[in-house]
Amino acid sequence: MSSQDSQIMFVFPGQGSQYVGMGSDLIQDFPTARRLYEQANDILGYDLIKLCQEGPEEDLRLTRHTQPALLTHSLACLAVFRELTEDRVQPTLAAGHSLGEYCALVAAGALDFETALRLVQKRGECMGTYGDGEMLAFPLTVDHIGELAEKHFCAIAACNLPDQTVVGGRSEDLDRLTEAAGAQFPRKRPTRLKTEGAFHTFYMITAALHFRPVLDAAAMAAPTIRVLSNYSGTHHESDPATIKTRLFFQLFHPVNWIGNLQTAFADGIGTIVEFGGGLGSGPNPADKRPNLEGMVKKALRGTDYSVQHHAAINSQTLREAAETLKS
Measured CA to CA, the distance from residue 295 to residue 309 in angstroms comes to 11
Examine the fold and report which residue of 174, 192, 210 is the final residue of a domain before the chain moves on: 192
- Looking at the structure of the chain, the number of domains it has is 2
The answer to whether residues 77 and 171 belong to one domain is no
CB atoms within 10 A of CB 297: 12
Residue 98 annotated in active site? yes
Statement to judge: residues 81 and 97 lie in one domain: yes
Residue-wise pLDDT for 254-273, tens only, equals: 999 999 999 999 999 999 99
Q: Is 200 a catalytic residue?
A: yes
**3-7, 29-33, 201-205, 293-297: which range is least confident on average?**
3-7
Give the pLDDT score at 5: 52
20 φ, ψ (degrees, to nearest 5): -70, 130
pLDDT at 229: 98
Task: Estimate to the nearest angstrom the gap between the alpha carbon of 8 and the chain centroid.
Answer: 18
The Cα 70–Cα 63 span in angstroms is 10
Out of 17, 65, 97, 98, pick the active-site residue: 98
Give the whole-angstrom CA distance, residue 31 versus residue 28: 8
Please answer whether residues 96 and 153 qualify as being in contact, where contact means their C-beta atoms are separated by less than 8 angstroms. Answer: no
> Is there a single domain that holds both residue 188 and residue 209?
no
Q: pLDDT value at position 204?
A: 98
Both 225 and 305 in a single domain? yes
Q: What is the pLDDT of residues 71-116, one digit of tens each?
A: 999 999 999 999 999 999 999 999 999 999 999 999 999 999 999 9
Helices and strands: H and E segment counts in the chain: 14, 9
169 and 258 inside one domain = no
| pLDDT at position 6 | 76
**CATH number of the structural domain spanning residue 219:** 3.40.366.10
Domain membership of residue 1 (yes or no) is no
Residue 327 has pLDDT above 90, yes or no: no
Q: List the one residue out of 210, 266, 244, 225 whose CA is nearest residue 107.
A: 225
Active-site entry in 65, 73, 97, 200: 200
Residues 20 and 141 in one domain: no
What's the whole-number mean pLDDT along residues 288-316?
96
Euclidean distance between CA atoms 277 and 288, whole angstroms: 8
Shared domain for 28 and 87, answered yes or no, is yes
**Do 162 and 296 belong to one domain?**
no
CATH of the domain at 180: 3.30.70.250
Instruction: Give pLDDT tens digits for 184-227.
Output: 999 999 999 988 999 999 999 999 999 999 999 999 999 999 99
- 174 and 226 housed in the same domain: no
Residue 302 lies in a domain: yes
pLDDT exceeds cutoff 60 at 1: no
Structural domain containing residue 158: 134-192
Whether residues 185 and 205 share a domain: the answer is: no
Residue pair 105/19 in contact (Cβ under 8 Å)? The answer is: no
Given 164, 192, 220, the domain boundary residue is 192
- Percent of the chain past pLDDT 90, that is, above it, reads 95
Over residues 231-248, the pLDDT tens digits come to 999 999 999 999 999 999
Distance CA(237)–CA(102), nearest Å, equals 15
Is pLDDT of 2 > 70? no
